[in-house]
Structures are given as C-alpha cells and as structure tokens.
Structure 1
C-alpha cells in the first residue's frame, strides 16, 4: 500500500473521507492510484492542486460515499454512479439487521484494498454488468447468524466470475470461530478476497494451451474431480500434504486451490513490499521480470516483520516457508501477470 498525504502535509490513509488535521475532504482516484484533497460540492468533488490553483473540474464521487459504506473513491466510468470496486457488488446483507451495516462497510473496505493491488498489477477488472461471467460479489447470510434467512450454510467460493462471501466473516467473533473450526489461524477477510480472486483470474489468464500445460506441470491436473477432492479434504484432512510442495495444507486439496492459495500469497507479497518501500523499510525498486530480486527482498522484509512481531509478544506475521517448489509456483504467477500487463500496455 502506498502512503498518502493531504495537501496540508498530514498523512492520510486509503479509507479516510477527510483530513483530521485540516478538515479537507479526501477522495481516492483509482485511475492514478493516488489521493486527492479538496472539497465536496453540490456538483462533485473539487480537488485542490499543490500549487494553489483550484481551477479543477468537479469529479464524480461514488454513490456509496455516505454511511454505511463510506467509500471515498472517485468514479472513473462516466456512465456509472459507483466506483470500480463498488460496481462489482451485486448482493448485500439485509441492512435492517443491526450488525449488517458494519459488516457491509468492512467487506467493501477490504474489497477496495484488494482492488488497489489489482490496479497496481494492471489486471483486467470487468464486472458482471460489462461482460458475461464478469466479476461480481454476493455478500450473503445464513441461519447461523441470521435465523430469518432461508440459507442454511453459506460458503465462501467462486463460480464463473461470481464470488460469494458469508457476510458474517466481517465479525471478529465469527471469524475467530471459523479459524478454529477450519484450522486456518491466518484467516482474514482480505485473505478471502485475494484467494477467491485467484480463482477468477485462473479463468481469465490460464486460457492458452501453453499456459495450461505449464500450469499442470507445477500445480497438477485441474481436471481431477474438484467436488470429490474437497470432500476428501474436509473428511480426512490433508493426507497428500507435503510441506515442501504446498504453501498451505488447503493448497494440497486440489490444483485449483493450490493456485488460489499461491495467488493470494503473491498478492500478500506485492502489497506488503509496496508498503515497506512506502515507509522506508525497503529500497527495492520493481523491475520488469526481475523475480529473483523481488523474492529475495520479500524474504528480508518478512524476516523484519516477524522479528518486530516477536518483540511485541505476537506470533510471526508471516510464518510460511517458501520452498523451491513454492517459489517456482510464485514465479509462474509473476510471469503470467507480467505478460498480461505487457500485452495490455502495447
């Protein structure tokens, strides 16, 4: 994540609606991946320039800027009323339920964080209104947290562009319970988004015979029965798990899940390295296809993060061991992302 500053010099953050120092309104511009400070008017958001010249045309703010979402992003599509992130949400939880406004706000905030990395990597973001099987999010509830709904059990998952999340994952209590039940101590809402978007981009990026062959060499044959594989995993655990082959136990359940788990970690690394550079903890400068230096710098930054956590009496921030096999999978993802970005920019 980049660092952002108000025109007055105060540091501000991705989801801030206004500067707490000078009171200026703030708006994040996804087209340039930067923050504007300015003033909300009846005609839209008017940014203030650094040189004092305020002669800017008003910009359109997301219609979800108000409570409960508090989205501070600008709208870059002149035909839309919502920002590029909010446009992908199709179903929200019933806002008459006391906890749901906060749940929706947390889910959208995490999704916007996800989108900052998608924009940084120059990945395609086409929603369900734009193309068939476009990206769409449904935030659903089940009877475990809301007895008034019909669904007995909502599972987070992806299918043909549709990403479903249980809205209750935004509750710390529910999230902690699921961590215990699923044996996933590092389960987070942002992690869910990054994992599921990995499934979405598998469909979008691994679509040529050459890439499919290379994928199978590293991750395995995705034609293996997916439902049966997951059933075996949940009934019997991870008998096929080998720590040198997979980034997590769940990754061993099926090649699709190995890809999604590795993709999520790739996004963790990309975002965390950008944050480290922004705060002066790293001097790494990204270079095209420079995977080895990227990977080495991540190992150094992860070591620092873990040491800082231990100094505070916490568990390691990144306890995962990235073996040569896992490294080769990350390198494959990096190559696919790079090749797409280069193609898009030509």
Structure 2
C-alpha cells in the first residue's frame, strides 16, 4: 500500500474517513489511487491539495453511498446520485445486519476487499460488474449454522464459481479464524489471503486468452482438466498431505492445477502490495517497470529477508516463510507475463 498524508502533514491510512489530528474529512480516489483531504458537503466532497509548484488545487469528488453505512467506505465514485464504489457494488450478499456481530464482520470483510481492489486497479486488471455482465465479479458473504442457527446452510465453504466468490462471514471473527487455522493447518490464513486466492480463480478465465497461453499454463501447472472433485478429496483424505516443496508454493497448491494457479496468483498479489508498502516506507528503493520481473523478484527476496529478520528480533514467526524455488519462480513469472499484457493495453 502507498503512504498518504493529510494537508496538516499527519500520516493517514487508506481506510481513514477523517484525519485524527486536524479533523479534515478524507476520501480515497481509486482512479487516481490517492487520498484527498477536504470537507464533505451536500454538494459532494470538496478536496484540497497542492501541485508540484505549491499552487492550491480544489476539486469535487462524490462519496460512495456506503460512506455512512456499517462498512464506513471512504472511496469516491464517478456518479452523483448516491451510487456505490467499484468495490462496494461488487458485494452481492451481506450477512444479516440485525445480528449483533454482523455489522463488524461486514466492516472487516469490506476493508479487506477494498485492499484487494487497490491492487487489482494498480495492475490495470479488468473488474467486470456482475450487474451488467454475466459472470462478472461478485461477492457473497454468507453464514452457516455454526455461527447463526437461523440460517439453512449447514456449512459455508469459501470458493469461486462463475464469477461469484463466496466467503464465510465468520472468518472475520478472530476466534473462528484461529480455529480454522488449526483445523486446516494454515497458520497464515487471512481474509485478504482468501480474497486474493479466490480472485485468482476468477481471473484464470480472463488472462489466459489463447491456446498458446493455455499450453504454457499446462506445462507449468499441469492439466487443469483433471477431475477437480477427486483431486480435492484425495488431498483432504490424506493424514498429512505430501507434496514436493520444490514444485509448489504451499501444500494446498499441490492439490490440483487450478489451486496451484490460485495460490501462485495470491502470492503474486501479496508480493506486489507488500513491495509497494516497503517502497512507501523507505525499506526499498525499487521502481517498477514493465517487463522487469528479474529485478522485481530479486528485490522481493531482499525485502522478505528483512521482514523475517525484523519479526525474529521480536520473537515472532517469519512474516514470509515460503520457499520460492526455481519452479515456483517460473510460475510467478508466468502470472507476471499475463498481467503485463493487460498493463500494455491500459
């Protein structure tokens, strides 16, 4: 994530709706990918800034309709009639807001989704609106009987199907998330990780556009036509899944080529966002360029090593304990190659 400052020079963060130092209203502009400070009025958000010559700039932005809802969305929109931002309007189903825990769950889920969208937008990846296009990107935040006895669903599984990403709303609870980490053997399980993984399934059908790219995919990841249900059953029925750590970024990636792709895609987004944050905070001097995968990859290795050393000095587990072998590197490079194709079009 980028680093932002208010007009008063106080550091502000991407989800802030107002500056805690001076009280100015704040809004995030997803098109310009920047934060603005100003005043929220009946006519819109009057934003103030200065250009490189120190001249004052004033512009009017329009806040997302969810700014005053449970999710406190601070993004701007392009229309003036109370519409939702690109992230909020992708939500198709929200957890029952009449239940005490659900407003907070929805808030946490939407914040993680907005962070996902900032990365997708920065990479110039298309975000298709499910309201206007079949199989467009949509999110269902569902509950099951484990946390809400009033619903009919016995067990909500996080997943993707024809553009719809389903997330168990209870994953926003620390207790539930910790339990799932233990049960699934996934110590680095996070809501943001879920979003990044599942959106990888969504983009597989978008970024792989021809037979040549599909053949490249199969060479690296395997044949995606293998029976998915049987592959997952085999993976979960093992007492302790065995996988070749030299070939896969995580154990789950070994379950099926589609899951290998989604795990690799998620890690690519992890790296993109974390490296941008490292640059913003002076930990890295990397300057991204088109077709510079080798430099990007080398810089990430250096930053990850620094992150892990900082964590160890605090007595914590490594922030990024994953081993990126040569095969995994080639898979990440393939993802980068496909995304670069969209960057060239933008």
TM-score bracket for this pair, using the shorter chain length:
over 0.9
TM-score by length of 2: 0.97
Runs (5+) with no aligned partner, structure 2:
none
Partner of 2:44: 44
Deviation of 1:60 (Å): 1.2
Alpha-carbon distance in structure 2 between the residues aligned to 1:240 and 1:319: 18
Q: Map 1:308-319; keep pairs closer than 5 Å.
A: 308-319=310-321
Q: Which moved more, 1:236-245 or 1:26-35?
A: 236-245
Partner residue of 2:154 out of 144, 152, 155: 152
| 1:164 match: secondary structure | strand
- 1:19 counterpart = 2:55: no
| 1:64 match: secondary structure | coil
Partner of 1:209: 211
Deviation of 1:77 (Å): 4.8
Alpha-carbon distance in structure 2 between the residues aligned to 1:136 and 1:9: 37
Residues 241 and 251, structure 2, Cα contact 8 Å, conserved in 1: no
- 1:332 counterpart = 2:296: no
Query: Which whole-Å deviations, capped at 9, do the CAs of 1:83-102 have from their partners, x for residues lacking one?
Result: 01001001000001110000
Alpha-carbon distance in structure 2 between the residues aligned to 1:244 and 1:77: 49
Query: Which whole-Å deviations, capped at 9, do the CAs of 1:296-327 have from their partners, x for residues lacking one?
Result: 00000000000000011100000000000000
Runs of 4+ in 1 over 2 A off after TM superposition: 49-56, 76-80, 237-240
Alpha-carbon distance in structure 1 between the residues aligned to 2:239 and 2:130: 35
| 1:319 match: secondary structure | coil
Deviation of 1:130 (Å): 2.3
Runs (5+) with no aligned partner, structure 1:
none
- 1:60 counterpart = 2:75: no
Partner of 1:282: 284
Deviation of 1:59 (Å): 1.7
Q: Map 1:44-123; keep pairs closer than 5 Å.
A: 44-50=44-50, 53=56, 55-56=58-59, 58-77=60-79, 81-123=83-125
| 1:49 match: secondary structure | strand
Alpha-carbon distance in structure 1 between the residues aligned to 2:82 and 2:42: 18
| 1:224 match: secondary structure | coil
Q: Which moved more, 1:76-85 or 1:329-338?
A: 76-85
Provide the alpha-carbon RMSD of the alignment: 1.3
TM-score by length of 1: 0.97
Alpha-carbon distance in structure 2 between the residues aligned to 1:170 and 1:52: 44
Deviation of 1:207 (Å): 2.8
